[in-house]
Structure 1
Amino acid sequence: MHALAVRRPPGSVVVYASRWQGWEEFDGRQPYPVVRHAGSVMLPVPEVARRAAGLLRSEGCDTVVFGAAAPLGLLAPGLRAAGARRVVMLTHGHEAAWAGTPVARDLLGRIGAGADVVTYLGEYTRRRLARVLPPGRLVRLAPGVDTEVFRPGAGGAKVRAALGLGDRPVVVCVSRLVPRKGQDVLVRCWPRVLREVPEAVLLLVGGGPSRAALERAVAAGGLGGSVVVTGSVPWSSLPACYDAGDVFAMPCRTRLGGLDVEGLGIVYLEASATGLPVVAGDSGGAPDAVVPGETGLVVDGRDPAQVAGALVALLADRARARRMGERGRAWIEREWRWDLVAERFGTLLDGSGVRDEGSAGGGPLHC
């Protein structure tokens, strides 16, 4: 949402958002006003509804954008009554999960009824949302990638030097450490990878609730010399972390009967922009972020043998891996740049030429 907001014309945006650590410094750097809710969670309660309607009137906004349709999209009728001419709602992975459960599905239907446009990330999320929402309101709008930030040569050599990786083959995973992302499967399959590529290193970048369990599994398997868990790193360091790898892997899997599912997987796109071949799990919309056989491989994230086979295939065939990385970079430059996404977003705001292109994709108040 930030990437879209900063690309709007000056004076055309006001943001209403919750508070997070560092919000005051962050807000001071933005080219638009940011109004903060008192807490870290915003829900469609009367207090939030009144404040949003007041901002709509005082700022002279005629368009409302919900950065996440559920649950704040329930505020749409009140904002229309306050003068909103157009309502655009963006969806992510959790709305697709809502479409599969009875109570949440009913709420999602109410939310979508208040929108002029509801966006989806890819074919998986479109299919899920189309069960509940009128297809004519669904338009693809996926996230973009900053190709100047995520690029080959973004600092990987320094990361390798700092971690003592040298020129060893590196599989990197950049993601929050939670079960859905599949870092546990990477650790489980790593002995199989080492049998074929003995010098390989698995680099797990990120923090999260699974970190302690992953570190215990690494120790129990005697993998300390070939698996590195960095913990959380600053966002500014992520491009270099990608660039430290030869292959990117996140074998995500769907959990909890479809409630815990990957909506798209921006990390695959960032890895492709950095010139890496990717190994993606088949959860939800993750395959939408890969051109199978061209930019990477899609695997069953529950199958350690299949994950290991994909990793070995790319680590052992450097020429093939390099070609996939080059194709991935070209694909990102052609389809996923932020300027292209921002242009599509602009058509959603003013309603000009809005149509669902499938694989293509006034002053707004951003909630």
Structure 2
Amino acid sequence: MKIAFHAPLKSPDHPVPSGDRQMARMLIEALRLAGHKVDIASHLRIFLRDSSQAAFSALHHEAEREIERLRALWRRDGPPDAWFCYHPYYKSPDLIGPRLSAEFSIPYLTVESSYSSRRNQGAWKLAQDAVAAGARQAAVNVCLTQRDRQGLEATIPDGRYAMLAPFIDVMPFQSLGRAARDGFRLIAVAMMRPGDKMDSYRMLARALELVVDMPWSLTLVGDGPARSEVQNVFSPLPAERLDWAGEKPPQAIAGMLAGADLYVWPGCGEAYGLSYLEAQAAGLPVVAQRTGGVPEVVRDGETGLLPAEGDLVAFAAAVRRFLADETLTAQFGERARRFVFEERSLSAASRRLSEIFDVYVRKMA
């Protein structure tokens, strides 16, 4: 099928790296692996930073111009077979795809659409109305977490839903061996910015203060506007235990993970977190919180430990458990790697998308 792909929050070609951009790119690769021809239909960013009516109106005007451009293009060259929208939500609704899909009678699909009634404020309510309308129209809403599916079903019980587990490209980890290292090394990979990321850094620093009696070192991979604040919250810890690696290109991350023993990241406000899958693909167990979509990517008690959300003492105890037992760490790491390679790879996602298309899309195209 010829698929028009749109990610209203961040185009796959956006210059700033993020989990959203990474997942958009991987979805395109999974679709292509399944035999589809995928084109990025629009690079227009539809992002409503605050619930401003004026801002929402301006986005609508930009979307109208994009609709006119695509309408003319499709009338000349023919429409695609389907429109595939990644991650519409209350700040970033798809204001293009549903209109054109209805006009040209092609299937409309969403992936990682989300809806939360507590966001129904000001222009965000208008944006959520657009998200809900798109979900109702969709031939299928592909959900990456049960939380997203439940949020949609609560508002649109008659919608069509299918599950696709979060996944990564395991190729960079395929021939990766465990790198030689001195001592027990922890690692975390995340941007340094205010909000949820800062909350996770703050919790991690406080938890590590509770295990400072044990031997370990921590590599922090990432950078961003909150770097100085992150450094400040880690200042009570011995400086010699901290390796500030800074931002690294994606191709370097796999090797850095392979040089560590344990991935530690609380995951405050985490939708699911692709970094958890990358760490496990490198053979690392994970310590995170049992929150949001994290249980969708880490198997508690098998590939990592997920203490309750906000339980700082339990988080520290989980880290201590791995620090004290190298055999346990190795067992969890082996299971983690097998889990990602067998169930969360690009090829596994491609097969699952083919199943979803066969059930929900091909009969409408």
Q: TM-score, normalised by structure 2?
A: 0.77
Tell me how many residue pairs correspond in the alignment: 313
Cα deviation 1:133-172 (Å, max 9, x = unaligned): 3354111123322222135736855xxxxxxxx4121111
Partner residue in 2 for 1:45 = 63
Q: Which deviates more, 203-212 or 102-111?
A: 102-111
The Cα shift of 1:69 comes to 2.5
Contact 1:243 1:274 in 2 (8 A): yes
In structure 2, list runs of 5 or more residues that go unmatched: 1-23, 46-57
- The structure 1 residue matched to 2:155, chosen from 132, 153, 157, is 132
Q: Per-residue displacement from partner, 1:275-304 (whole Å, max 9, x unpaired)?
A: 111112222111111111111111235333
2:132 corresponding residue in structure 1: 109
Query: What's 1:231 paired with?
Result: 246
Query: In structure 2, what is the equivalent of residue 119 of structure 1?
Result: 142
Structure 2 residue aligned with 1:26: none
2:39 to 9, 14, 25: 14
Higher relative contact order (Cα pairs below 8 Å, separated by 6+ residues): 1
| Percent of aligned positions that are identical | 25
- Identify if the C-alpha distance between structure 1 residues 11 and 222 changes in structure 2 by more than 3 Å, giving closer, same or farther: closer
Matched, 1:353 2:353: no
- 1:244 corresponds in structure 2 to 259
Q: Post-superposition shift, 1:84? A: 4.2
Gaps of 5+ in 1: 21-40, 158-165, 254-260, 356-361, 363-367
Cα 1:320–1:131 shift into 2, 3 Å: same
Aligned mates of 1:183, 1:132 — CA distance in 2: 34
Task: Judge conservation of contact 1:183–1:204 (CA < 8 Å) in 2.
Answer: no
Q: Distance in 1 between matches of 2:302 and 2:36?
A: 42
Taking the aligned partners of 1:347 and 1:83, their CA distance within structure 2 comes to 24
Structure-2 residue corresponding to 1:65: 84
Q: Please report the RMSD computed on the Cα atoms of aligned residues, expressed in angstroms.
A: 2.7
Give the conservation status (yes or no) of the 8 Å contact 1:273–1:329.
Answer: yes
In 1: Cα distance, 2:300 partner to 2:158 partner: 27
CA drift at 1:210: 2.7
The equivalent of 1:153 in structure 2 is 176
Residue in structure 1 matched with residue 48 of structure 2 by the alignment: none
The partner residue of 2:186 within 171, 176, 182 is: 171
Change (3 A) 1:192 1:81: closer
Inter-CA distance 131–296: structure 2 relative to 1 (3 Å threshold): same
For the residues of structure 1 that align with 2:38 and 2:73, how far apart are their CA atoms? 11
In structure 2, relative to structure 1, the CA distance for the partners of 1:111 and 1:154 (3 Å cut) is farther
2:14 aligns with none
Matched with 1:205 is: 221
Aligned to 2:278: 270
Give the direction of change, closer, same or farther, for the CA distance of 1:141–1:50 in structure 2 (3 Å limit): farther
